[in-house]
């Protein structure tokens, strides 16, 4: 009984010391708001395995409404500098306390800037984003994720 309690306390303290962003997150379609004209994915999952002021490891799996899936992974310092993502995009990220900021740039000039926060109970993550088209036009959106 005491061993079980010690294990539970150790796990709880490890959780408290880790970033609130670390974990698997599933997109909540009902609470999210897509940018105008953007197609809704069939499914979207984030897996964040490391999120500190020094490094971010973040994998996003998007299943398109027509079936194919795409996985994008960011594994780089969280220092605000630009790093390659995949074969043709770049991203920069910062993690400061309870805020994760990430910006993704595509080769055609489109960018996607997100600011994510986690609810106090750590069961939901909200990412507020701005898509910027090459011509400067912007569209806002909100992605809400539930912890899996």
pLDDT digits (tens, 9 = 90+) for 108-132: 999 999 999 999 999 999 999 999 9
What pLDDT does 71 receive? 92
Alpha carbon distances (Å) from 45 to 22, 37, 74, 77, 129: 13, 21, 14, 22, 16
- Each residue's pLDDT tens digit, 21-76: 999 999 999 999 999 888 899 999 999 999 999 999 999 999 998 888 999 899 99
Q: What is the pTM of this model?
A: 0.85
Q: How far, in Å, CA of 44 to CA of 42, rounded? A: 7
**What is the set of domains in the chain, with CATH numbers?**
2-147 (2.40.128.20)
98 pLDDT more than 60 = yes
Q: What value does the mean pLDDT take over residues 82-103? A: 93
Least confident interval from 4-13, 43-52, 73-82, 98-107: 4-13
Pairing of strands 69-76, 83-85: unpaired
Q: What is the DSSP string of 75-95?
A: EE--BS--EEETTTEEEEEEE
């Amino acid at each position: 009984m005491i061993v079980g309690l010690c294990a539970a306390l150790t796990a709880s303290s490890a959780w408290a010391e880790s970033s609130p962003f670390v974990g698997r997150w599933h997109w909540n379609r009902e609470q999210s708001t897509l940018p105008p004209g953007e197609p809704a994915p069939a499914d979207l999952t984030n897996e964040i395995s490391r999120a500190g002021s020094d490094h971010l490891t973040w994998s996003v799996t998007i299943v398109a409404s027509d079936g194919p899936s795409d996985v994008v992974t960011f594994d780089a310092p969280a220092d605000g500098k630009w790093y390659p993502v995949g074969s043709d995009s770049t991203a920069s990220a910062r993690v400061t306390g309870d805020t994760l900021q990430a910006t993704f740039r595509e080769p055609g000039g489109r960018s996607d800037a997100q600011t994510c926060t986690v609810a106090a109970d750590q069961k939901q993550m909200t990412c507020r984003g701005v898509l910027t088209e090459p011509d400067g036009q912007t569209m806002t959106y909100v992605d809400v994720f539930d912890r899996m």
